[in-house]
Chains A and B, each alone.
Chain A
Amino acid sequence: EVQLGQSGAEVKKPGESLKISCKASGYSFTNYWIGWVRQMPGKGLDWMGMIDPGDSDTRYSPSFQGQVTISADKSITTAYLHWSSLRASDTAMYYCVRRIAVAGTWAFDFWGQGTMVNVSS
C-alpha cells in the first residue's frame, strides 16, 4: 500500500529554521517525483515544487523559488521541505504528494496527511 507519512505539527518563531519530512513506503521511491503543496488557513492549494528522488533534480514554482529548499534521501525513502528563516506568512498546512504520469500528463495520486506549521512570535 502506497503511503506518504509526514512529520508532526510544528510551532516556530519568525526567523527560525525548520525541516519537515515525508516518509514514502509501498512503492519504488526513486520511480516517482515527490512534490509539496501549501494550504494556508482557510485557503486553496499552492504548488510549491518537486524533486526526483533518484537524482535529486529539483524544480520550484517561481512563487517559492529561493523561499524553500526541497531535498530527498533515497536511502531512507524520505523527502524534505526546509526553511532557513521562517516568516509568519509561512503559517500553513503542507502536503507532500506523489506525482504520476498518466495519459500524457501528470497528477498527484497520493497525498501525505499534512504537516501544520505555525509561525508566531
Chain B
Amino acid sequence: DIQMTQSPSSLSASIGDRVTITCRASQSISRYLNWYQQKPGKAPKLLMYAASTLQSGVPSRFSGSGSGTDFTLTISSLQPEDFATYYCQHTYSTLTWTFGQGTKVEIK
C-alpha cells in the first residue's frame, strides 16, 4: 500500500503568515494528489485536486505543487477561517486511496 506522510503534524501560525504543509508518498503517485480542509465538527471539504488545481470557490491564497513523491500545500496569507486540519490523499491506485494523517493549523 502507498503510505502518505504529512509534516508537520501541527503548526501554530499568525494571521497573515505564509504556511506550508508537506505531504510525502511512499512511492511515486505522479500528480494524483488531493488536499482537503476539515474544520472542527464539520465534514472535510475538497481544496485542490491533481496536486495543484483549485476546486471551484477555493480562495487563490491556497496553492499546491509537486509530483512524484513530494507535494506541498501553501497558504500565502493565513486568514482566520483557515484554521483547520488539512489532509492530503492519493488516488493513484483504485482500492487504496490513502489519506495522510493530517496537519492541524492552529492560532499562535
Residues on A lying within 8 angstroms of B by beta carbon are 37, 44-47, 59-62, 95, 102-109, 111-114
Interface residues of B in 21-75 (CB under 8 A from A): 31-32, 34, 36, 43-46, 49-50, 53, 55
In the bound complex, CA of A105 to CA of B32 (Å)? 6
Contacting pair A102 B50 (CB below 8 A): yes
- A28 to B51 CA separation, bound complex (whole angstroms): 27
Residue in A47, A61, A103, A114 whose beta carbon sits within 8 Å of that of B43 in the complex: A114
With both chains docked as a complex, state the minimum distance between the C-beta of A105 and any C-beta of chain B, in angstroms: 5
Whether B91 sits at the interface, judged by CB under 8 Å, is yes
Interface majority SS (helix, strand, loop, mixed), chain A: strand
A-B contact count (CB 8 A): 61
Give the Cβ gap from A115 to chain B, nearest Cβ, in Å.
11
Task: Decide if B53 touches A102 in the complex (CB within 8 Å).
Answer: yes
Chain B: CB-nearest residue to A60: B95
**B87 A102 Cβ-Cβ under 8 A:** no
* Residues of chain B at the chain A interface (Cβ within 8 Å): 1, 31-32, 34, 36, 43-46, 49-50, 53, 55, 87, 89, 91, 94-102
Interface of B, secondary structure class, is loop
Whether B102 contacts A103 by the Cβ 8 Å rule is no
Other A-B pairs beyond A95-B43, A105-B49, A114-B43, 8, CB < 8 Å: A45-B99, A61-B96, A105-B32, A105-B34, A105-B91, A106-B97, A108-B44, A111-B44
Bound Cα distance A44, B102 (Å)? 6
Residues of A within 8 A of B98 (CB): 47
A105 contact from B31, B36, B102, Cβ within 8 A: B31
Least CB distance from B69 to A in Å reads 16
User: What is the bound-complex CA distance between A60 and B45, given in angstroms?
Assistant: 22
Closest partner residue, chain A, to B32 (CB atom): A105
- Asked if residues B43 and A111 are in contact (CB atoms below 8 Å), the reply is yes
